[in-house]
Every structure is written in structure tokens, then in C-alpha cells.
């Protein structure tokens, strides 16, 4: 894997030096374009409500929505997630609910990472209570080896092993979300 290029990091500090790139912005863009084309095809001309899971999916939703050719609207939810680091807090709860009802609509949940599956299992259950016409899941990354709940995404960008990643919206203790590439976070990386 190539080292994180200098233009992916802050121009004023060396804080991110040593981070390795797992997927470059070009690789991400190509894959997101493919996913958008597939989603467009599956929609068959119907309308779509894209529900982004804050905050990690912000960039993915922004890019994926522009790769989907459909009459689409956005909504956002937020759940409790990883605490202050790489360890999961375990319990999932809704911190921010939908703004608009989704009954009878085609819903696409847009998530950054499907990891243990706790978040998306919970979200799917909560959203299905509103009786959408359809409910699909798009995740940029999937870590199938980490699954605790039985859940799969309908659209997966990249399937990865048990690595902790940052960038392109994904954080470590709220930092690094603005890295344009997806980089590896090693446990011994200095904070």
C-alpha cells in the first residue's frame, strides 16, 4: 500500500504522517460511481429517500447521491456509536430521528461501515416500523468478520478485513474525518 500522500494531510503539521492509504480518493470515486449506477438500475425510475447515518456517511452520501440518477431526497439519522476511540460502546440508540415520514417510500440507508451490525440492525428495525415501500442498505465498507448481528448490506463498496480505518468521513475519536482517502489507523498510532 502506498504511504498517505502529503496532499491528503494538513499542510501545516505532520500529525498524519505514517498513515497508510487503504483506498485512494480515485478508487473510492470509481467504486461509488459503480454503486450509483447499480442503485439507479434497481430503482427502475422510482423515487428514493436517501437516509445518511451521521456523521461518518456524510461524504459517502454526498458522492453516492450524485452518482444516483433518480428523483432523490435526503434525510439523516444519528445513532450512538463508538465511544472515544476504537472500542464499541455496545448499546445503540437513536440520537437524531428522521425529519420526514418514510411510509410507502423507497428508502436507502447510507452508512460508512457495516461492522458488528448492531447499528444497522437497530436502524433497520426502527425504520421498518414506519412501513417504507422498500428498505435497502448501502455501505461503503463492510467488515464481515466482525459481525455480531445477522445483517448484510444490499450494496457494498469494499469488503475489508478487521482493520480500523479513518478518513472519507470516518473518524478516530472524531478526528481524521476530512482525510480525502481511506487510511489505516494502527492501535499504536500516536494521538
List interacting residues with ligand IMP (CB under 6 A): 56, 81-82, 88, 111-120, 164-166, 170-171
* 181 near Mg ion (CB under 5 A): no
- Supply the minimum distance, in Å, between the C-beta of residue 134 and ligand IMP: 21
Q: Which is nearer to Mg ion, 56 or 167 (CB)?
A: 56
| Cross-sheet strand order for the sheet of 182-184 | 20-23, 182-184, 165-166
Part in contact with Mg ion (CB under 5 A); list of ranges 43-51, 55-63, 130-138, 171-179: 55-63
Q: Which is nearer to ligand IMP, 132 or 169 (CB)?
A: 169
Part in contact with Mg ion (CB under 5 A); list of ranges 50-58, 137-145, 156-164, 174-182: 50-58
Question: What is the C-alpha to C-alpha distance for residues 76 and 28, in angstroms, rounded to an integer?
Answer: 22
Catalytic residue among 75, 112, 115, 171: 115
Q: Which is nearer to ligand IMP, 43 or 52 (CB)?
A: 52
**If binding means CB under 5 A, how many residues of this protein chain bind Mg ion?**
2
- Supply the minimum distance, in Å, between the C-beta of residue 38 and ligand IMP: 21
Q: Which is nearer to Mg ion, 43 or 110 (CB)?
A: 110
Binding mask 86-115 for Mg ion (x = CB under 5 A): --------------------------x---
Specify whether 115 is catalytic: yes
Tell me, letter by letter, the H, E, C secondary structure of the chain.
CCECCHHHCCCCCCCCCCCEEEECHHHHHHHHHHHHHHHHHHHCCCCEEEEEEECCCHHHHHHHHHHCCCCEEEEEEEECCCCCCCCCCCCCCEEECCCCCCCCCEEEEEEEEECCCHHHHHHHHHHHCCCCCEEEEEEEEECHHHCCCCCCCCEEEEECCCCCEEECCECECCECCCCCCEEECCCCCCC
- Supply the minimum distance, in Å, between the C-beta of residue 57 and Mg ion: 6
- Supply the minimum distance, in Å, between the C-beta of residue 53 and Mg ion: 5
Amino acid at each position: 500500500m502506498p504511504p498517505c500522500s502529503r496532499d491528503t494531510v494538513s499542510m501545516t503539521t505532520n500529525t498524519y504522517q505514517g498513515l497508510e492509504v487503504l483506498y485512494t480518493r480515485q478508487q473510492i470515486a470509481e467504486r461509488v460511481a459503480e454503486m450509483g449506477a447499480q442503485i439507479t438500475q434497481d430503482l427502475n425510475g422510482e423515487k428514493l429517500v436517501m437516509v445518511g447515518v451521521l456523521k461518518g456517511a456524510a461524504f459517502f452520501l454526498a458522492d453516492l447521491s450524485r452518482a444516483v440518477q433518480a428523483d432523490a431526497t435526503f434525510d439523516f439519522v444519528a445513532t450512538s456509536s463508538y465511544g472515544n476511540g476504537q472500542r464499541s460502546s455496545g448499546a445503540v440508540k437513536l440520537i437524531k430521528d428522521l425529519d420526514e415520514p418514510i411510509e410507502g417510500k423507497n428508502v436507502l440507508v447510507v452508512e460508512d461501515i457495516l461492522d458488528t451490525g448492531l447499528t444497522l440492525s437497530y436502524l433497520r428495525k426502527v425504520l421498518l416500523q414506519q412501513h417504507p415501500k422498500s428498505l435497502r442498505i448501502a455501505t461503503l465498507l463492510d467488515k464481515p468478520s466482525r459481525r455480531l448481528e445477522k445483517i448484510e448490506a444490499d450494496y457494498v463498496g469494499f469488503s475489508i478485513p478487521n482493520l480500523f480505518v479513518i478518513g472519507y468521513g470516518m473518524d478516530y475519536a472524531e478526528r481524521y474525518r476530512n482525510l480525502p482517502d481511506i487510511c489505516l489507523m494502527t492501535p499504536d498510532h500516536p494521538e
